[in-house]
């Protein structure tokens, strides 16, 4: 089988829309174009039916009831609604929130905003494997704690936080538990009942659905979670999120959820094998490479590796026909390395020279071979020009070396 370049290996960032999802969306643009809130004519009814079908499909994927699914514009909005909505609603009860340093910016920045407005936020550290400690979590809880928000799967390193255990602790203490489940839902089993989750953020475009559509699962029983709306007007979505629903997007989201429910197990098995194959090939071809985050508690399609003794920029340039993400966030003028990798204790160099591999529904073994070959040759070439690598190979301990100018 031949491969087409460039190769897409950045499925954590976004996923292509599955053709079957596109198919499910098409009738809702021009044919059944009604407003799902139009209650008095067939145009509205057709749109509403599509939305309610999708609501059921998404609920089925996470073990919720359809009424517990609130549609949003994406997981960034879901995270905002969950955290700010709960903070505002339960203000009387307390002003303390617990989260973790490796959360997505949609959670971190939301918490930062609340801090400015007088809330207190504890950012739990992570261990070297990327996971929080449950003892630290317990110790952080006070009688003012109203919310714990910890992600299910990390978007940079793919590690799986102990969500079930966190849910149990939150329940025992009577604290609400929100999880940003964007990277986990549709990829691994995720059941809001078993995990004792009160709120969960989901995004369609991370699971082969369209961009700009998301959902927040909001528990209705045991306890019934109330949220202050962030967007007012019209009272759609049980008053939690006003605005005309994006019917085609939601229909696609529903179809994507159904496909994930049916195919997740087979997909996961196949991708785990491919991921392990890629990892093994890299380890066979190169020394001084380091996996970031727990390999045991990890999404099946996810791998994050630091390549020591190469410079991040040169590394990325060398593999410019492979779409991956790196630990260098070049989005800002300052070249700040990934805060997630730093939180695991990685030095700046190793954080910069890291690559996140995200495999997905259309990744092939041939592509993994291409990526492995390419990386092995690029890293080998870059290291041939690296005096540090040479010294390290001669057994010089660089960390204790005295750098004397002469
Ligand atoms: C992508 C992502 C988000 C944001 O989702 P959008 O739908 O793009 O707003 C939030 N959290 C995690 C973990 C993500 O990976």
CA dist 297 → 25, 129, 300, 332 (Å): 35, 9, 9, 31
330 is catalytic: yes
Six-digit token pair at 164? Answer: 């079930």
Measured in angstroms, how far is the CA atom of residue 322 from the centroid of ligand 1? 22
Q: CA-CA distance, 255 to 204, in Å (whole number)?
A: 10
Which residues are within 8 A (CB) of 401 and not within 5 positions of it... i.e. 6 or more apart?
391
Six-digit token pair at 339? Answer: 């805060």
Does residue 182's CB lie within 6 angstroms of at least one atom of ligand 1?
yes
Measured in angstroms, how far is the CA atom of residue 2 from the centroid of ligand 1? 33
Six-digit token pair at 171? Answer: 């329940």
Q: CA-CA distance, 402 to 406, in Å (whole number)?
A: 12
Instruction: Count CB neighbours of 42 within 10 A.
Output: 10
Over residues 1-34, the pLDDT tens digits come to 689 999 999 999 999 999 999 999 999 999 999 9
CA dist 362 → 88, 162, 319 (Å): 42, 29, 20
Does residue 72's CB lie within 6 angstroms of at least one atom of ligand 1?
no
Q: Three-class SS string for the chain?
A: CCCCCCEECECCCCCCCCHHHHHHHHHHCCCCCCCCCCCCCHHHHHHHHHHHHHHHHHHHHHCCCHHHEEEECCHHHHHHHHHHHHHHHCCCCCCEEEEECCCCHHHHHHHHHHHHCCCEEEEECCCCCCCCCHHHHHHHCCCCEEEEECCCECCCCCEECCHHHHHHHHHHHCCEEEEECCCCECCECCCCCCCCCCEEEEEHHHCCCCCCCEEEEECCCCCCCCCCCCCCCCCCHHHCCCCCCCHHHHHHHHHHHHHHHHHHHHHHHHHHHHHHHHHHHHHHHCCCEEECCCCCCECCCEEEEEECCCCHHHHHHHCCCEECEECEECCCCCCEECHHHHHCCCCHHHHHCEEEEECCCCCCHHHHHHHHHHHHHHHHHHHHCCHHHHHHHCCCCHHHCCCCCC
Give residue 333's pLDDT: 52
Six-digit token pair at 112? Answer: 């930062």
Does residue 206's CB lie within 6 angstroms of at least one atom of ligand 1?
yes
Does residue 103's CB lie within 6 angstroms of at least one atom of ligand 1?
no
- Bond preceding residue 59 cis, omega within 30 of 0: no
Ligand 1 closest atom vs CA 12: 15
Ligand 1 closest atom vs CA 206: 1
Q: CA-CA distance, 218 to 61, in Å (whole number)?
A: 14
Residue with CA nearest ligand 1 atom 3? 75
Helices 365-384 and 247-285 pack at an angle, to 10 degrees, of: 50
CA dist 22 → 61, 159, 213, 215, 260 (Å): 19, 30, 14, 19, 15
Domains of the chain: 7-12+264-389 (3.90.1150.10), 19-260 (3.40.640.10)
Give residue 329's pLDDT: 61
Measured in angstroms, how far is the CA atom of residue 181 from the centroid of ligand 1? 9
Measured in angstroms, how far is the CA atom of residue 366 from the centroid of ligand 1? 29
Q: CA-CA distance, 191 to 194, in Å (whole number)?
A: 5
Q: CA-CA distance, 104 to 117, in Å (whole number)?
A: 20
Ligand 1 closest atom vs CA 13: 1
362 contacts 16 by C-beta, under 8 angstroms? yes
Intra-chain end-to-end CA distance of the chain, in Å:
56
Bridge partner residues of 290 (DSSP):
306
Does residue 155's CB lie within 6 angstroms of at least one atom of ligand 1?
yes
Does residue 267's CB lie within 6 angstroms of at least one atom of ligand 1?
no
Over residues 99-124, the pLDDT tens digits come to 999 999 999 999 999 999 999 999 99
375 contacts 282 by C-beta, under 8 angstroms? yes
Q: CA-CA distance, 22 to 58, in Å (whole number)?
A: 17
- What does pTM read for this prediction? 0.96
Half-sphere exposure of residue 355, counting CA atoms within 13 Å on the CB side? 29
Measured in angstroms, how far is the CA atom of residue 387 from the centroid of ligand 1? 40
Among candidate residues 100, 111, 260, 330, the one labeled active-site is 330
Give residue 397's pLDDT: 78
For the chain, list residues with pLDDT below 70.
Answer: 1, 329-334, 401-406
Ramachandran class of 174: left when φ > 0, alpha when ψ lies in -120 to 50, beta otherwise: left
Give residue 332's pLDDT: 45
Does residue 183's CB lie within 6 angstroms of at least one atom of ligand 1?
yes
């Amino acid at each position: 089988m031949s491969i087409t370049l460039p190769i897409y290996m950045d499925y954590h960032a976004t996923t292509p829309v599955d053709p079957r999802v596109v198919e499910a969306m098409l009738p809702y643009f021009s044919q059944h174009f009604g407003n799902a809130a139009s209650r008095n004519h067939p145009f509205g009814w057709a749109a509403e039916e599509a939305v309610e079908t999708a609501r059921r499909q998404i609920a089925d994927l996470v073990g919720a009831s359809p009424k517990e699914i609130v549609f949003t514009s994406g997981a960034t909005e879901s995270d905002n609604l969950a955290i700010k909505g709960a903070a505002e609603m339960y203000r009387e009860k307390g002003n303390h929130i617990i989260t973790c340093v490796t959360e997505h910016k949609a959670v971190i920045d939301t918490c930062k905003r609340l801090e400015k407005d007088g809330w207190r936020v504890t950012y739990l550290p992570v261990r070297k494997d990327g996971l929080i400690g449950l003892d630290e979590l317990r110790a952080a809880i006070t009688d003012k704690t109203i919310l714990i928000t910890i992600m299910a799967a990390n978007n940079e390193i793919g590690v799986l936080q102990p969500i079930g255990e966190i849910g149990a602790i939150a329940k025992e203490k009577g604290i609400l538990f929100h999880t940003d489940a964007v990277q986990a839902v549709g990829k691994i089993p995720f059941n809001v009942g078993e995990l004792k989750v009160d709120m969960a953020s989901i995004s369609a475009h991370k699971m082969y659905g369209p961009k700009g559509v998301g959902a927040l699962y909001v528990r209705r029983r045991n306890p019934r979670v109330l949220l202050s709306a962030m967007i007012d007007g019209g009272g759609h979505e049980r008053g939690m999120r006003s605005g005309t629903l994006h019917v085609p997007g939601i229909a696609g989201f529903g179809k994507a959820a159904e496909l994930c429910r049916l195919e997740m197990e087979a997909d996961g098995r196949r991708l785990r094998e491919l991921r392990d194959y890629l990892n093994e090939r890299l380890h066979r071809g190169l020394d001084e490479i380091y996996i970031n985050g727990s390999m045991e508690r990890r999404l099946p399609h996810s791998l994050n590796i630091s390549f020591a003794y190469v410079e991040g920029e040169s590394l990325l340039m060398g593999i410019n026909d492979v779409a991956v993400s790196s630990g260098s966030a070049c989005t800002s003028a300052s070249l700040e390395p990934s805060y997630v990798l730093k939180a695991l204790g990685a030095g700046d160099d190793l954080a910069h020279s890291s690559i996140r591999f995200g495999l997905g529904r259309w990744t092939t073994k041939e592509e993994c071979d291409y990526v492995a070959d390419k990386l092995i040759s690029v890293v080998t070439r870059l290291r041939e020009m690296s005096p540090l690598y040479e010294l390290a190979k001669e057994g010089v301990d660089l960390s204790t070396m005295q750098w004397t100018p002469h």
